[in-house]
């Protein structure tokens, strides 16, 4: 079927440049994380909680605006118990001045209010979250390596795990570069990026496997190129619909989901790129060949698979 | 090759969708503001009389009661607005007294027929709706005293093992332990021993009336580290307990030097939460005292189910609930509730060592509970509420040791199944390093401004509509089919999350829509495959069939791999990571169902079983 089509774009022609770009990006991201670090949000750092008693119920949005124009960056304003009591949580560390400053800033507009208390508050997530999540992430990568190694081939396993690490590191690097706030919602976004990127990588890998078994001509680079070409419109459509949602969230969603959307936008773009230029690229570099996927029948573990994988029988009956 | 589903397959899909619809439906009904009444102990029941008393008290104060209802283990009084809810709580508490817990709550207004099949809405998170804010104070004095007691026991045991004769050794005021010796040589022996192994004490040698005294005072640094440890330990335990309650998206954080904030999102059983959070229950295992034991080594405790019965126990504790590694509620041979306990290795050793030499003697399980009781007192003509801290210790079982116990055994003698289940939960979730008391309970407003919530909701809606438009423009007729499948997918996802009573936060909602954006993938894969098949000249009906079955392999591999990651994150992660993994897993399963089965069944309905010349699938190939 490839004969009747126009000549596919030579995706793999850029593989050397892409390798350099990817490595440079990852190195830069790691350096940024080491030097600047992440700007952790209120969820992770804790800070100060200030309780204020107003004489008349204030409009919370005005309180937020006043605090913002007074130069505070990360804060949460909530009604507390009654509509005249306001609780402000902020990332600044606790000291006597801070509470007084906040009170002064808020009463500047002519509001009658009184400082009830101000106290240090700890982080919202325990240390075990960092440890468990880190460990969980490593185990997840190992399991993906093993599963894909079994279902496809070991080289595919490597080619699906490396892009995941690549994507996560780059997203974190961008957050470190711009010092955007990294909070729990961004952590969730990061996990979604892993899911998305993995999905994308496997779909491309699946087509590569299929073509290796089907196409009798051409070297591995040609076959991989052809596979990417065949899946490119699917890749663009899926990324497109996802990005449409994300841009809507980013531009209209307000500050509460800004960073969430931002992390995902970067993640989806990088994830799409990495399934072609990291995953497929690695397959070429690892020298994946037809023999890796077509094992003579009745031999070895991988030989259980037929030459072209058939969908299960129950699906054919559908 | 007619692309027709058999009837049963269509029926399965329809039934799945109907069930999904029913369970997603409760989310349409808003919640009521309410106060909830439960027994302070899990065995105390709430009946109609109690409820009437509460309602009468409210009406006497002019608070309008919207509806009151008696549930299985508690009662709910629904009120009209947040303000009357705030006013109502103290009134009801006063009317009912301390045997009952009165908590602020959000009650779902799900119609009865939906409730009867177990359907309920999702909760809105702290960012969207706010919730209940509890402030707990850690009793630092007790934390230090408990540690001192334990250390004094250890030191005494070691002195005995080293055959150093001493007297006293009890904890005195001023955070010190005083040991007295007959002569100077045994004192210096003890001095060396303690200095080597217990560097957290400052040692002071004194001589008083022919007695050689050794005063161990705890250093300030040690006191501080005990307090820090107690707070951190309690924080971890509370986090575990909150997660055991199945509440998603709570907030647990430290405030100041000795307080812990717990915030739980609006709609839930706050009374149960309060009981489990505040239940600073622990267990102690002690041997019954011998007849000839000296009175200094004996403590007398009442039985929990019969306060008039008492037993004399040794002062020394074999092991406490801190050493429990697992606890499960179960039933004994007679169908009575029991708790199966597994100790960690340290606890197992201690238990074995103590019981090995005590076969035939009796061992007591002592249940310790710290509570705050609120009392109203009149001071200078003003009524004030005073919180009294109460420690209650009672024996729940006293049984003869038949053989040396190891690391697993069971506890019987519990009142009821709920009590056994609660004890198991408390032991499992870890015990508190120091008792805690509630010092504040308030409602807290949403942490996001209304503007932000509106903007977030709007963007989510717009994102969804844009995806639908994209699909129709690009895939035409098949796009419409994909959109129906996507909408049904969304419904199924909401249904599953409602069944799990998940909590919705704004990023969570964004995540759901994102799942929808990604769920498009299955359909895109299939449609692109169909287009490819059409391109290679296969007739439409065969192209549909080939498209679905070829794309299946890709969809299956991609989704299963992602599902694996989600499952591992669930198993390994804690708190928010866990919640996210659940949403992701459900999203994968429902999108596979709707992408493969539902969309196929619609395609079959539209195109199946007849001659089709062309497919409406977009692109220039639509008219092939």
Q: Cβ(A225)–Cβ(A231) under 8 Å?
A: no
pLDDT above 80 for A76? yes
Is the pLDDT assigned to residue B613 strictly greater than 90? Answer: no
User: Does residue B322 surpass a pLDDT of 60?
Assistant: yes
Cα nearest neighbour of B465 on chain A: A245
Question: Which position has the token pair 């026991």?
Answer: B153
**What value does the mean pLDDT of chain B take?**
81
For residue B515, the Cα-to-chain-centroid distance in whole angstroms is 26
Decide: B616 and B491 in contact? Cβ < 8 Å.
no
**CB proximity under 8 Å: A 169-188 to B:** 184-185, 187-188
Q: What percent of chain B has pLDDT over 70?
A: 90
The residues that bridge with B251 in the sheet, in sequence order, are B263
DSSP designation for B569: H
How many Cβ atoms from other residues are within 10 Å of residue B23's Cβ?
23
**Two structure tokens written together for B211:** 């007695």
**Which residues partner with B365 through β-bridges?**
B285, B397
Question: Cβ of B532 and A234 within 8 Å?
Answer: no
CB atoms within 10 A of CB B385: 11
CA atoms of B280 and B426, how far apart (whole Å): 8
The residues spanned by each domain of chain B are: 7-26+445-623, 32-107, 141-222, 279-443
Q: Please give the structure tokens belonging to residue B495.
A: 């249904």
In a mutagenesis test of the B interface, which of A82, A198, A245, A311 is the best target, namely the one with the most B β-carbons within 10 Å?
A245
Cross-chain residue pair A315–B510, CB shorter than 8 Å: no
Judged against a pLDDT cut of 80, whether residue B516 lies above it is answered with no
Helices in A152-307 by DSSP H: which ranges? 154-178, 184-214, 220-252, 255-274, 281-285, 290-293
Tell me which CATH code domain B32-107 carries.
3.30.70.260
Give me the CATH topology for the region B141-222: Ribosomal Protein S8; Chain: A, domain 1 (3.30.1370)
Quick one: pLDDT band at residue A8, thresholds 50, 70, 90? low
On the question of a common fold for B7-26+445-623 and B141-222, the answer reads no
Question: What confidence tens digit (pLDDT) does each residue in B174-188 have?
Answer: 788 888 888 888 888
Residue B286 has pLDDT above 80, yes or no: yes
Q: Is the pLDDT of residue A152 over 60?
A: yes
Contact indicator for B302, B313 with CB cutoff of 8 Å: no
The confidence band for B37, taking pLDDT boundaries of 50, 70 and 90, is: confident
**Contacts with B, A 227-256, CB within 8 Å:** 230-231, 233-234, 237-238, 240-242, 244-246, 248-249, 251-256
Q: Using CA atoms, how far apart are residues A280 and A270, in angstroms rounded to an integer?
A: 14
Tokens of A304: 């259980």
Q: Using the beta-carbon criterion (under 8 Å), do A234 and B525 form an inter-chain contact?
A: yes
Q: Select the CATH number that applies to the domain covering B7-26+445-623 from these four: 3.40.50.300, 1.20.1640.10, 2.40.50.100, 3.30.1380.20.
A: 1.20.1640.10
Q: Distance between CA atoms of B323 and B318, rounded to whole angstroms?
A: 11
Q: Give the CA radius of gyration of chain A.
A: 26
- pLDDT tens, residue by residue, B600-611: 999 998 888 778
* pLDDT of residue B108 exceeding 80: no
- Subunit contact A315:B552, Cβ cutoff 8 A: yes
Q: Name the band, by pLDDT with cuts 50, 70 and 90, for residue A46.
A: confident
pLDDT at residue B246 in the model: 55
Q: Do A147 and B575 touch (CB under 8 A)?
A: no
For B474, the closest of A123, A237, A256 (CB atoms) is: A237
The percentage of residues in chain B with a pLDDT greater than 90, rounded to a whole number, is 7
Q: What is the mean pLDDT of residues A252-267?
A: 89
* pLDDT above 70 for A41: yes
- Min distance A67 CA to chain B CA atoms (Å): 14
Residues 37..96 of A with a Cβ closer than 8 Å to B: which? Answer: 46, 49, 60-61, 64, 76-82, 87
Q: Confirm if A18 and A281 have CB atoms less than 8 A apart.
A: yes
Minimal-distance CA residue of chain A relative to B524: A234
The model scores a pTM over 0.90: no
**Res. B451: pLDDT tops 90:** no
For the domain bounded by A11-37+125-293, which CATH number is listed? 1.20.1640.10
* Closest by CA position to B154, among listed B312, B344, B317: B317
Tokens 């799990």 sit at which residue? B500
CATH architecture of the domain with residue range A47-121:
2-Layer Sandwich (3.30)
User: Regarding the domain delimited by B279-443, which CATH topology (the fold level of the hierarchy) does it fall under?
Assistant: Gyrase A; domain 2 (3.30.1360)
Beta-carbon-side half-sphere exposure of residue A284 (alpha carbons within 13 Å): 24
Residue limits of CATH 1.20.1640.10 in chain A: 11-37+125-293
Contact A256 B506 (CB under 8 A): yes
Task: Give which of B565, B588, B617 to mutate to test A binding, by max A Cβ within 10 Å.
Answer: B565
Domain with CATH 3.30.70.3400 in chain A: 47-121
């Amino acid at each position: 079927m490839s004969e009747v089509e126009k000549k596919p774009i030579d995706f793999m022609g850029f593989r050397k440049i892409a390798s350099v770009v990817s490595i440079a990006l990852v190195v830069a991201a790691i350096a940024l994380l080491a030097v600047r670090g992440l700007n952790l949000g209120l969820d992770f750092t804790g800070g100060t909680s200030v309780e204020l008693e107003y004489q008349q119920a204030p409009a919370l949005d005005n309180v937020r605006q006043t605090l913002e124009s007074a130069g505070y960056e990360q804060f949460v304003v909530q009604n507390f118990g009654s509509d005249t009591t306001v609780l402000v949580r902020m990332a600044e560390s606790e000291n006597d001045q801070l509470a007084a400053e906040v009170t002064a800033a808020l009463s500047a507009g002519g509001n009658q209010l009184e400082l009830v208390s101000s106290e240090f508050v700890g982080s919202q997530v325990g240390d075990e979250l960092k440890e468990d999540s880190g460990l969980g992430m490593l185990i997840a990568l190992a399991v993906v390596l093993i599963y894909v190694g079994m279902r496809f081939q070991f080289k595919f396993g490597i080619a699906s795990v490396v892009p995941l690490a690549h994507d996560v590191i780059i997203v974190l690097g961008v957050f470190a570069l711009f010092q955007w706030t990294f909070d729990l919602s961004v952590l969730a976004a990061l996990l979604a990026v892993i899911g998305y990127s993995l999905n994308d990588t496997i779909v491309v890998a699946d087509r590569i496997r299929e073509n290796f078994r089907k196409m009798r001509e051409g070297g591995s680079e040609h076959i991989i190129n052809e596979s990417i070409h065949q899946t490119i419109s699917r890749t663009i459509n899926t990324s497109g619909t996802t990005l449409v949602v994300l841009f809507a969230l980013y531009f209209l969603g307000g500050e509460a989901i800004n960073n969430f959307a931002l992390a995902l936008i970067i993640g989806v773009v990088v994830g799409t790129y990495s399934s072609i230029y990291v995953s497929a690229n690695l397959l070429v570099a690892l020298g994946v060949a037809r023999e890796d996927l077509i094992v003579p029948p009745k031999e070895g573990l991988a030989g259980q698979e037929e030459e072209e994988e058939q969908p299960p029988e129950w699906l054919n009956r559908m | 090759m007619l692309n027709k589903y058999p009837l049963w397959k269509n029926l399965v899909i329809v039934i799945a969708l109907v069930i999904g619809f029913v369970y997603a439906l409760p989310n349409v009904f808003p919640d009521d503001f309410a106060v909830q009444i439960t027994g302070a102990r899990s065995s105390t029941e709430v009946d109609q009389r109690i409820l009437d008393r509460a309602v009468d008290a409210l009406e006497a104060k002019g608070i309008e009661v919207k509806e009151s209802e008696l549930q299985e283990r508690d009662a709910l009084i629904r009120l009209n607005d947040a303000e009357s809810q705030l006013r109502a709580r103290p009134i009801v508490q006063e009317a009912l007294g301390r045997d009952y817990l009165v908590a602020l709550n959000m009650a779902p207004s799900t119609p009865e027929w939906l409730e009867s099949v177990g359907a309920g809405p999702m909760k809105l998170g702290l960012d969207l709706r706010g919730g209940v804010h509890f402030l707990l104070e850690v009793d630092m004095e007790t934390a230090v005293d408990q540690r001192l007691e334990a250390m004094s026991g250890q030191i005494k045991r070691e002195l005995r093992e080293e055959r150093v004769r001493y007297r006293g050794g009890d904890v005195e005021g001023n955070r010190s332990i005083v040991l007295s010796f007959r002569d100077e040589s045994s004192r210096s022996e003890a001095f060396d021993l303690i200095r080597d192994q217990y560097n957290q004490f400052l040692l002071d040698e004194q001589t008083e009336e022919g007695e050689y005294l050794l005063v161990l005072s705890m250093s300030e640094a040690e006191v501080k580290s005990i307090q820090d440890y107690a707070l951190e330990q309690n924080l971890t335990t509370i986090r575990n307990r909150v997660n055991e309650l199945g509440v998603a998206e709570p907030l647990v954080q430290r405030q100041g030097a000795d307080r812990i904030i717990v915030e739980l999102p609006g709609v839930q059983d706050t009374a149960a939460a309060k009981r489990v959070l505040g239940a600073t229950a622990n267990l102690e295992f002690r041997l019954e005292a011998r007849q000839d034991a000296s009175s200094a080594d004996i403590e007398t405790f009442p039985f929990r189910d019969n306060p008039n019965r008492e037993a004399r126990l040794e002062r020394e504790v074999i092991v406490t609930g801190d050493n429990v590694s697992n606890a499960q509620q179960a039933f004994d041979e007679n169908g009575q509730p029991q708790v199966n306990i597994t100790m960690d290795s340290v606890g197992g050793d201690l238990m074995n060592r103590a019981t090995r030499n005590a076969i035939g003697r009796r061992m007591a399980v002592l249940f310790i509970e710290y509570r705050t009781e609120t009392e109203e007192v009149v001071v200078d003509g003003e009524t004030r509420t005073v919180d009294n801290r109460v420690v209650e210790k009672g024996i729940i079982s006293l049984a003869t040791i038949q053989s040396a116990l190891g690391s697993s055994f069971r506890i019987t003698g519990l009142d009821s199944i709920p009590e056994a289940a609660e004890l198991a939960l408390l032991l499992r979730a870890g015990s508190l390093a120091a008792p805690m008391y509630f010092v504040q309970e308030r409602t807290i407003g949403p942490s996001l401004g209304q503007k932000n919530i509106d903007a977030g909701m709007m963007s989510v809606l717009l994102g969804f509509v844009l995806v639908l438009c994209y699909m129709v423009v690009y895939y035409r007729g098949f796009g419409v089919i994909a959109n129906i499948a996507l909408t049904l997918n969304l419904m199924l996802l909401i249904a599953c999350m409602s069944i799990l009573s998940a909590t919705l936060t704004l990023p969570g909602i964004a995540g759901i829509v994102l799942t929808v954006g990604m769920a498009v993938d299955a359909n895109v894969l299939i449609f692109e495959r169909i287009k490819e098949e059409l391109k290679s000249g296969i007739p439409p009906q065969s192209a549909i069939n080939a498209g679905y079955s070829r794309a299946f392999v890709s969809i299956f591999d991609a989704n299963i791999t992602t599902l694996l990651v989600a499952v591992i994150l669930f198993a390994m992660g804690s708190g928010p990571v866990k919640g996210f993994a659940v949403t992701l897993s459900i999203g994968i399963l429902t999108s596979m169902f709707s992408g493969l089965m539902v969309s196929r069944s619609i395609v079959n309905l539209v195109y199946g079983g007849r001659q089709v010349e062309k497919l409406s699938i977009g692109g220039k190939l639509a008219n092939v």
